[in-house]
Amino acid sequence: MTVPLGAFIAVSAVLFFLGAGGVLVRRNAVVILMCVELMLNASNLALVAFSRRAGQLGAGNPLDQRGSVFVVFVLVIAAAEVAVGLAIILAAYRNRPTVNVDELHEMKG
Amino acid sequence: MFDILEPLLFALFALGIIGAGVCVVVLRRITAQALLMALTFACMAGMFLLLGAETIALFQVLIYVGAITILILFGVMFTRQDDRGYGLFFQRQSPWAAALTLVIALPVAFLAFSFKDPSTPSPKGGDLTPLAGSLFTDYAFPFEIASVLLLAALVGAIVLVKRDEQ
């Protein structure tokens, strides 16, 4: 008895929409960054799950690691994104000591 | 016995991921949110193990649970957050901590004491060998691009937070 693919995809989808909801609802910049990380992680789970299933079904080389390779690149992008994102939050914080994104409205038309 | 183990572990990890994810979105205590985000990432590493992607699970623990959580916690530390109870965050829940440690320690102790050395080690190298082969042959160019991107992010982060000496 193994866990069906759909269960993994369901967890991934739930986590992705949790993250998306958090990005849209929360006003704290650091929390928004956390929610973006949750979304990236959810996409990683979907990639790995589909990649495994493609290997099991014989729809290609069982040693095909395309999904895992994409996950490695997502990890790299996530690390770069957090580093630059936090640097931007800190730079903005130095100008105006708040992390509330509603109060950072200098560029509002 | 192992037939039931996999769905059981899946249920546990799914509960951890979704429960901690909901808390990250809903809670108002930023330190707790950051640590619960780490719990989500750890449960996700367990999911990757269930899917047989051991190397990805290792990267997940190293990069997400280790590096990104620490970065976020530094971000929390360097910025002023909303007023909140600063009480003793860790010391107030000693009973809970003891119970949780016990729950984790008992299965580990059971496994450790019932461990028998297999006479022949398993020859499988997990998914590391095909992953590395794929990454350094078919995807060598994107890999180099990713390293340049990381370097750019490193330099950019330093430039952004550097104070002007004047």
Interface confidence (ipTM) of the complex: 0.89
Amino acid B30: pLDDT:
87
Chain B contacts of A63, Cβ < 8 Å? 130, 133
CATH number belonging to the domain at B1-81, selected among 2.60.40.1220, 1.20.120.1200, 1.20.120.420, 3.40.50.300: 1.20.120.1200
What are the sequence ranges of the domains in chain B?
1-81, 127-166
Structure token pair of residue B91: 């010391």
pLDDT at residue B91 above 70? no
List the CATH code of the domain at A5-103. Answer: 1.10.287.3510
Per-residue pLDDT band at B125 (split at 50, 70, 90): low
Taking alpha carbons only, the member of B80, B82, B64 closest to residue B72 is: B64
Chain B contacts of A104, Cβ < 8 Å? none
Amino acid B65: pLDDT:
92
For residue range A24-78, what is the model confidence (pLDDT) as tens digits?
999 889 999 999 999 999 999 999 998 887 776 655 555 567 888 899 999 999 9
Structure token pair of residue B160: 């952004």
Which residue, among A16, A32, A41, would best test binding to B if mutated, counting the most B CBs under 10 Å from its CB?
A: A41
Compute the average pLDDT of residues B43-56. Answer: 90
Which among A21, A41, A93 has CB closest to B44?
A41
Amino acid A51: pLDDT:
85
Alpha helices in A57-65 (DSSP H): none
Instruction: Name the burial class of residue B117, with classes exposed (0-12), middle (13-18) and buried (19+) by CB atoms within 10 angstroms of its CB.
Output: exposed
Per-residue pLDDT band at B97 (split at 50, 70, 90): confident
Measured from the Cβ of residue B153, the count of other Cβ atoms closer than 10 Å reads 20
Taken in order B133, A4, B10, A82, the sign of the CA dihedral is positive
Measured from the Cβ of residue A91, the count of other Cβ atoms closer than 10 Å reads 14
* CB contact (8 A) between residue B149 and residue A80: yes
Amino acid B86: pLDDT:
56
For residue range A95-107, what is the model confidence (pLDDT) as tens digits?
888 888 888 887 7
Per-residue pLDDT band at B25 (split at 50, 70, 90): very high
State how far the Cα of A45 lies from the Cα of B110, in Å rounded to an integer: 30
For residue range B60-89, what is the model confidence (pLDDT) as tens digits?
999 999 999 999 999 888 887 766 655 555
* CB contact (8 A) between residue B47 and residue A15: no
Per-residue pLDDT band at B132 (split at 50, 70, 90): confident
A–B interface: beta-carbon pairs under 8 A: 179
Q: Helix axis angle, A66-95 relative to B140-161, nearest 10°?
A: 10
Amino acid B123: pLDDT:
60
Amino acid B52: pLDDT:
84
In chain B, which among 87-126 make CB contacts under 8 A with chain A? none
What are the sequence ranges of the domains in chain A?
5-103
Amino acid A15: pLDDT:
95
